[in-house]
Structure 1
Amino acid sequence: MKRRNLLRALAIGAPLATAGAVGAGIAAADTANFKIMVTEQVQNKVMVFDKNAAFSDANRYKSWSPGTGGWSNLSDCRIRDTAQFGAIGLAAASGGKVGIWNITDEKDQELNDVLWSATPGGNPHALERIPNIGAFVSASSDGFLTVYGPTKISDPSTLAKVQTVSLAGAHGVIWDPNNSLLWAAGDKIVQAYTVSGTYRNVRLAKSSKKVALSGLGHDLQADFSNSSLLQVSDSYGVYSINKSTLAKTTLHTTTRIKAYVKMKTGEYFYMRADNTGSRTWGSPTIVFSQSADRTRSGAEFYKARYYTTAYN
């Protein structure tokens, strides 16, 4: 291990454990030079940058600015593919809103690009799309998941709340296309849910698959290097979960990791809350294991994502 990577591993608390193109700039395959999207809470924007360039305004690839109010303190972002609109952006905000926007050719997008939004209640921390049936599921940290079903899959304006499912500390949700399960991270647990029904009859039901965590779950993401695994962070570290065997492997033992992504190349990047300022849960820096870290002066990043529509 090179000295720089050794120092990086020590900084995060422990070394690594041994154990579709739908628009310009959106990745269908993993490459060494990729784009990432971040939620930045001071300007309250989702921003997309090339990871090999400074995270400056001049270098932004795209941005989306929904304004404040219910959209304040953006807490999640990701992109998914649809037949009707191509790539759409998904967002959740601690101010109370969740929603999706149409990713157009515009460099800087705003609230008028929103296709649908809702106010699930609590403190929304994540939003995920279930493909083929066009349903969406949000996670609110006050303790529940909210399911939204459409009357017309191609028309998100027809989405309405159809179910609320209790999950203490709900923070993360991700669709698992290999097993047709929705996984959610909450307080000391990662829980899988089966999905039944279509349109307004779509429903979640607890699966027997669950994995205990030591603390409050934060980020829950695919492992882009291995489709059989999930990556989850909690208050005390980062773990890999085998979706079939439910085996949990500790990758890092550093606290306050709010976003963590592992790429096919083996590179990983993360955001660790710096515990300072008015947003103690954020940081102006995204750390990369094999590339230069990126710091944006005055920023408060919360989530960081690989800029791809792929689920894994």
Structure 2
Amino acid sequence: MRRLLTAALLATVALTGPAAGAQPRAGGGRGAAGTPIVAADQASRAVYVLRSEPRSWDVGRGTGVLWSWSADGQAGLADLDPGASWSNPSEAKLRELGGRRYLLATASGGLAAVVGYPGRDVYWAAHTGPGNAHSIDLLPDGNVAVAASTGGFVRVYAASAGSRATRHAEVPLRGAHGVHWDPRTRLLWALGSRELVALRVEGPADDPGLVVVHRSALPTRDGHDLAPVLGTKGRLWVTTGTAVHQYATGRHRFVDYPLSSRISAPGVKSIGDDPATGRILMARPEPGHACVWCTSVLTFHQPDGTKRMVRGAMYKARWWTSRRD
């Protein structure tokens, strides 16, 4: 019954959001509306693109929601058993390829998907197995990288070959939690529990290969989130179980950054800076929440503040921008 109600809600939001003409811009949008926020909400098993201006969002009523997507009830994904594979959606990003925009999403149940925005057509989707698919990125050749934490692997799927392509290259990475394609270095960066690795993607698009070209030990353990620092070129955000770090890709070292004493915190599930304003967005578990790894409150810096999703159980939240560096 809950799944049927959720599907009905998503259908309503889908009609009221984009149909009203309130579409986030591809690059994040500096306009009056501000850069939207995308959040993976495990309570409703959905991904939401949210207006950044309100102090709170009520996704059950569509308040503040610009767009949404869920694998639940999608006939075109029935072969991937979304009832199980879409459990606990964990990642959500905006990317562009060939002039088109895509939502990238993963779920702990194993589903990884690249979905057209705003049309929701599925570019590629796969069941990656029981390894807790935790992060995803889209490569310039149309292939898709996935990191799985309990599976301990980073894969590049030959997604350019078809919407259900399963051929892939794989490298082991203990506790793989984050993956990011960096256009400056033209390397795929992946974050494990104890190290950050740089991978070179080789071979033809329909039969890719992966080679580790550099490894950096983490300054603190239990790596979790990996994202570009959009305000400083050549840097990556790296969160761990106890801190938030920045890494300089050209120097292959972790470096100091402004306001680190205020920004760094334990257990941060996602972090990023708004390319339009420089404001920092963080998601970290909320004390007392029924879901021990979730939150209904997002934290901001520069300026400081919080925003709340009514009855939310968000895991990661990011600025809705396709910028990578």
Question: Normalised by the size of structure 1, how large is the TM-score?
Answer: 0.83
Compute the displacement of 1:275 (Å).
4.7
Compute the displacement of 1:43 (Å).
0.1
Aligned to 2:57: 55
Compute the displacement of 1:291 (Å).
5.5
Compute the displacement of 1:188 (Å).
1.4
For residues 105-184 of structure 1, the aligned pairs below 5 Å read 113-121=121-129, 122-131=131-140, 133-142=141-150, 143-150=152-159, 153=160, 156-157=162-163, 159-184=165-190
Compute the displacement of 1:241 (Å).
0.4
Identify which of 265, 285, 305 aligns with 1:273: 285
Kindly provide the CA deviation profile for residues 99-146 of structure 1, in whole angstroms up to 9, marking residues without a partner as x.
Answer: 1111135xxx6xxx3332112220110111111x21111111011112
Cα distance change, pair 281–263 in 1 and its aligned pair in 2 (3 A): same
> 1:74 is matched by which residue type in structure 2?
P
For residues 157-236 of structure 1, the aligned pairs below 5 Å read 157=163, 159-236=165-242
Aligned to 2:41: 40
Further displaced range: 259-268 or 237-246: 259-268
2:102 matched to 1:97?
Answer: no
Compute the displacement of 1:306 (Å).
1.4
What is the SS of the residue equivalent to 1:69? helix
Q: Is the 8 A contact 1:30 1:263 kept in 2?
A: no
**Taking every aligned residue pair, what percent have the same amino acid on both sides?**
26
Q: Is the 8 A contact 1:211 1:246 kept in 2?
A: no
Identify which of 87, 90, 96 aligns with 1:81: 96
Distance 2:269 2:321 in 1: 19
What is the SS of the residue equivalent to 1:198? coil
Compute the displacement of 1:292 (Å).
4.0
Q: Is the 8 A contact 1:140 1:169 kept in 2?
A: yes
Distance 1:95 1:273 in 2: 20
Aligned to 1:305: 318
Distance 1:78 1:198 in 2: 25
Kindly provide the CA deviation profile for residues 158-209 of structure 1, in whole angstroms up to 9, marking residues without a partner as x.
Answer: 6322222100000000001001000011111111111112222211110124
2:293 matched to 1:285?
Answer: no
Distance 2:40 2:23 in 1: 21
> 2:90 is matched by which residue type in structure 1?
S
For residues 4-15 of structure 1, the aligned pairs below 5 Å read none
Distance 1:241 1:141 in 2: 21
Compute the displacement of 1:29 (Å).
5.7
For residues 24-35 of structure 1, the aligned pairs below 5 Å read 24-28=23-27, 31=30, 33-35=34-36
Compute the displacement of 1:30 (Å).
6.3
Compute the displacement of 1:253 (Å).
3.8
Q: Is the 8 A contact 2:146 2:156 kept in 1?
A: yes
> 2:136 is matched by which residue type in structure 1?
L
Compute the displacement of 1:27 (Å).
3.7
Compute the displacement of 1:225 (Å).
0.2
Distance 1:180 1:288 in 2: 30
> 1:63 is matched by which residue type in structure 2?
S
2:268 matched to 1:257?
Answer: yes
Kindly provide the CA deviation profile for residues 212-233 of structure 1, in whole angstroms up to 9, marking residues without a partner as x.
Answer: 2411111100111012100010
Identify which of 296, 301, 311 aligns with 2:309: 296
Q: Is the 8 A contact 1:211 1:248 kept in 2?
A: no
Q: Is the 8 A contact 1:275 1:281 kept in 2?
A: no
Distance 1:43 1:259 in 2: 19
Aligned to 2:85: 70
Question: Normalised by the size of structure 2, how large is the TM-score?
Answer: 0.80
What is the SS of the residue equivalent to 1:160? coil
Cα distance change, pair 293–47 in 1 and its aligned pair in 2 (3 A): same
Cα distance change, pair 300–90 in 1 and its aligned pair in 2 (3 A): same
Compute the displacement of 1:74 (Å).
0.4
Q: Is the 8 A contact 2:40 2:92 kept in 1?
A: yes
Further displaced range: 245-254 or 50-59: 245-254
Cα distance change, pair 186–275 in 1 and its aligned pair in 2 (3 A): farther
